[in-house]
Chains A and B, each alone.
Chain A
């Protein structure tokens, strides 16, 4: 097959059509959809509205609730932990606060717990991969905060609540909007390098579903810049972190309170008993479950462990009948399928167009609506299909420089430009091909505004939690979420610790859960949590022996 500038010839032919219409498309604007039209397109094209993507859970506190099939598979599975092998009389780490997860929410929680008086050596962060390996690190576009005079916390609240189809827990949406400006202030003090204008004000862009420009960014590495700064702070303070040691089940005491967890050293295969007065669950999302068969933007460890562990301990889950597919996952070349192209690309003025170069949707609809519109366009035969059968629509990136001046794309989207260049494509000159990709776990473990779950001793924050975004999240609210609720979780847990006495440790809840799973008489031997996804080659797997 002949390639021109990284694209097969037939795709380049379509690009030529896109180029011819570009000038016209710069002026032509597609208006945003009416509420009715949004509802219509969602119901016809979004996986959340398809009957075969989810089913009822038959076990545990949420018995009868609908959840995505891949999550139900984990819920209706025996624990990966053989409780008989764990000696609870030997405690390896005895701390006040266990933070499960070393991404954004966990790190912020530990920092604020320390500030709220928990002693340094009485904090332990455990994490599956390295400290900072998380979806937080990967967020590109930005973080919302209503700090411009023409904006207000009320407008931010309306965007959050409306964007979530009015299904959010209101008190959580309120906390998100009201705490946002103080979080940005905290970041300023930590030395986060936000994009600013010459007078020191933030350069703020719009995002899908936001009524004001309030997206604060640090080039297109916003998540990385935030994560590395707060991690640097943690390292300067020497807050203890145990890497490559995920918690695989939570511990409870005889009074039914969560009291730490069992960590698994992935390298030596030892377990450690961690006893804690308070436990903050900050395990992040579940994109690596590839729900509904979607590729994902998520990091390697995003396997929904926190949902499973907390469910075993009796916490309730919510809104897991929805997933966030992000409209602009990469569809070409094959080696980047599913990786995110940031929403900031559209924020800067690049429009989605079909193979005929026609714009077909307002570029900044909420993510679910935008995704549904892309899926529709492809189902209607107006998308491009790659040589390996992956459909997609064009995101006309050269419009950015035409709108904002030469060099803008390179300056504002350095990471994206670099990423595509590695695979032979110049997004400054040519459009990129995109198709929705699994991006965010909208729901999760239900919390209140103090980050408490239904189970005493267990707090949750960040992507693992549910209620903040309801059934759909807007861009720029997840970085904000982990900061706002990580902070609240840390402070609340610090208070809770003061009066807490931990009773006798037990894993009996796991034994009970396993017995209930056995009663379902499920075929095969599914176990959960899964810890890491399985991507090994079929041939290699077919010959694998479990000798060690």
Chain B
């Protein structure tokens, strides 16, 4: 099996079968069907640049945090489509690659201040989660290996806390939503769950409340005024005489 559907216009045909040049350190990859030779060991992102592309879309933090470079690929002789972040995945030989520049998924508008964290809160805002057919395609498409279907099921059950926890590492690339047969917008559901938990479920800090009350009362104003008006050598001495908490205990 060589070029398949959608790859007829794939630049040059391979010169000879298996001419991938591991010895000279290059792989063949196909960017939207066009073949390029790229050095072994690079990330998909670096390989695309090596091939001569200058990114506008499809490139963000380059470190796995932003979800800009979600990539769909298939390896020659395989049927399965796979999902990855271009900046976090090494290029492999005979990869057919495309990047998803944008996800047109709907995002609900809501005012977090005017809602609670009730069992049905998420379901009210994103009712389509009830359509989940448990096909697990979302989980399989997640480049972060998040148990996406599970957190959707948690959201459906009203377990906001767990939905928030399971979705925490989401980088919002949107691949889950692009693949879902039920048009669920998982990554937006996760965002809502986490904000609900942060605002309504997790206990608040008493220390913080006290400190803000102290600041509002102005109890630090005098000492801050003093230090602002102190000579630099005084401040330096105070700095050098600090006790360092992490060096003790």
Interface residues of A (CB under 8 A from B): 29, 31-32, 35, 129-130, 132-133, 137-138, 145-150, 152-155, 157-159, 161-162, 166, 170-171, 174, 177-178, 181-182, 184-185, 188-194, 196, 198-202, 206, 210-213, 218-219, 221, 223-225, 228-229, 232-233, 235-236, 238, 244, 266-267, 297, 299-301, 333-335, 339-340, 362, 364, 414-415, 418-419, 422-423, 532, 534-537, 540-541, 544
Asked if B89 CB lies within 8 Å of chain A CBs, one says: yes
Question: Which residue of chain A lies nearest to B223 when distances are taken between CB atoms in the complex?
Answer: A154
- Give the number of residues in B that approach A within 8 Å (Cβ atoms): 75
- Closest chain-B Cβ to A535's Cβ sits at a distance in Å of 4
* B211 / chain A contacts, CB cutoff of 8 Å: 146-147, 181
Q: A149-B207, A422-B88 are in contact. Are A188 and B228 (CB under 8 A)?
A: no
Q: A188-B198, A335-B43 are in contact. Are A221 and B63 (CB under 8 A)?
A: no
Q: How far is the CA of A364 from the CA of B111 in the complex (A)?
A: 41
26 contacts between A and B (CB under 8 A): A32-B247, A138-B65, A148-B207, A158-B227, A158-B238, A166-B239, A182-B212, A184-B205, A191-B194, A192-B198, A193-B198, A201-B206, A219-B169, A224-B66, A225-B168, A236-B109, A267-B56, A299-B61, A300-B55, A300-B61, A339-B62, A419-B88, A422-B89, A537-B51, A537-B52, A541-B52
- Closest chain-A Cβ to B20's Cβ sits at a distance in Å of 18
* A218 / chain B contacts, CB cutoff of 8 Å: 168
* A29 / chain B contacts, CB cutoff of 8 Å: 247
Question: Which residue of chain B lies nearest to A170 when distances are taken between CB atoms in the complex?
Answer: B228
B51 touches A158 (CB 8 A): no
* A150 / chain B contacts, CB cutoff of 8 Å: 245
Question: Which residue of chain B lies nearest to A29 when distances are taken between CB atoms in the complex?
Answer: B247
Asked if B70 CB lies within 8 Å of chain A CBs, one says: no
Interface residues of B (CB under 8 A from A): 41-43, 46, 49-57, 59-66, 68, 88-90, 107, 109-113, 144-145, 164, 168-169, 171-172, 191, 194-200, 202-212, 215, 220, 223-224, 227-228, 232, 235-236, 238-240, 242-247
Question: Which residue of chain A lies nearest to B107 when distances are taken between CB atoms in the complex?
Answer: A235
A206 touches B227 (CB 8 A): no
B52 touches A544 (CB 8 A): yes
Q: How far is the CA of A137 from the CA of B210 in the complex (A)?
A: 29
B169 touches A414 (CB 8 A): yes
B60 touches A299 (CB 8 A): yes
Q: A162-B236, A188-B198, A223-B65 are in contact. Are A238 and B246 (CB under 8 A)?
A: no
Contacting residue for A211 out of B90, B236, B245, CB 8 A: B245
* A297 / chain B contacts, CB cutoff of 8 Å: 63
* A301 / chain B contacts, CB cutoff of 8 Å: 60
* A423 / chain B contacts, CB cutoff of 8 Å: 90
Q: For B194, B196, B223, which residue has the most chain A Cβ atoms within 10 angstroms?
A: B194
Q: A174-B228, A191-B195, A191-B197 are in contact. Are A535 and B169 (CB under 8 A)?
A: no
Contacting residue for A201 out of B51, B59, B60, B207, CB 8 A: B207
B62 touches A190 (CB 8 A): no
B205 touches A188 (CB 8 A): yes
Contacting residue for A133 out of B53, B66, B207, CB 8 A: B66
Q: How far is the CA of A352 from the CA of B62 in the complex (A)?
A: 25
- Closest chain-A Cβ to B78's Cβ sits at a distance in Å of 20
Contacting residue for B52 out of A178, A340, A364, A536, CB 8 A: A536
Q: How far is the CA of A229 from the CA of B188 in the complex (A)?
A: 11
Q: How far is the CA of A157 from the CA of B223 in the complex (A)?
A: 11
Q: How far is the CA of A171 from the CA of B61 in the complex (A)?
A: 32
Q: How far is the CA of A506 from the CA of B208 in the complex (A)?
A: 48
A211 touches B195 (CB 8 A): no
B68 touches A130 (CB 8 A): yes
B66 touches A138 (CB 8 A): yes
* A540 / chain B contacts, CB cutoff of 8 Å: 50-52
* A266 / chain B contacts, CB cutoff of 8 Å: 56
Question: Which residue of chain B lies nearest to A35 when distances are taken between CB atoms in the complex?
Answer: B240
Question: Which residue of chain A lies nearest to B239 when distances are taken between CB atoms in the complex?
Answer: A162
B63 touches A236 (CB 8 A): no
- Closest chain-A Cβ to B92's Cβ sits at a distance in Å of 13
Q: How far is the CA of A146 from the CA of B232 in the complex (A)?
A: 23
Q: How far is the CA of A363 from the CA of B64 in the complex (A)?
A: 26
Q: How far is the CA of A158 from the CA of B232 in the complex (A)?
A: 11
Q: A340-B63, A422-B89 are in contact. Are A232 and B203 (CB under 8 A)?
A: no
Q: How far is the CA of A158 from the CA of B241 in the complex (A)?
A: 11
B199 touches A202 (CB 8 A): no
- Closest chain-A Cβ to B104's Cβ sits at a distance in Å of 13
Q: How far is the CA of A58 from the CA of B9 in the complex (A)?
A: 53
Question: Which residue of chain A lies nearest to B90 when distances are taken between CB atoms in the complex?
Answer: A335
Contacting residue for A191 out of B62, B169, B196, CB 8 A: B196
* B235 / chain A contacts, CB cutoff of 8 Å: 158, 161-162, 166
A158 touches B228 (CB 8 A): no
* A415 / chain B contacts, CB cutoff of 8 Å: 64-65, 169
A133 touches B54 (CB 8 A): no
Identify the 7 closest CB pairs spanning chains A and B, nearest first: A200-B203, A540-B52, A191-B195, A191-B198, A191-B199, A162-B239, A206-B246
Q: How far is the CA of A196 from the CA of B206 in the complex (A)?
A: 12
A532 touches B168 (CB 8 A): no
- Closest chain-A Cβ to B91's Cβ sits at a distance in Å of 9
Question: Which residue of chain A lies nearest to B91 when distances are taken between CB atoms in the complex?
Answer: A335
Q: A185-B208, A191-B199, A211-B243 are in contact. Are A335 and B168 (CB under 8 A)?
A: no
A185 touches B51 (CB 8 A): no
Q: How far is the CA of A418 from the CA of B89 in the complex (A)?
A: 12
A300 touches B171 (CB 8 A): no
Q: A193-B198, A537-B49 are in contact. Are A335 and B42 (CB under 8 A)?
A: yes
A154 touches B224 (CB 8 A): yes
Q: A138-B61, A154-B220, A532-B55 are in contact. Are A147 and B239 (CB under 8 A)?
A: no
Q: A184-B208, A536-B54 are in contact. Are A224 and B215 (CB under 8 A)?
A: no
* A300 / chain B contacts, CB cutoff of 8 Å: 55, 59-62
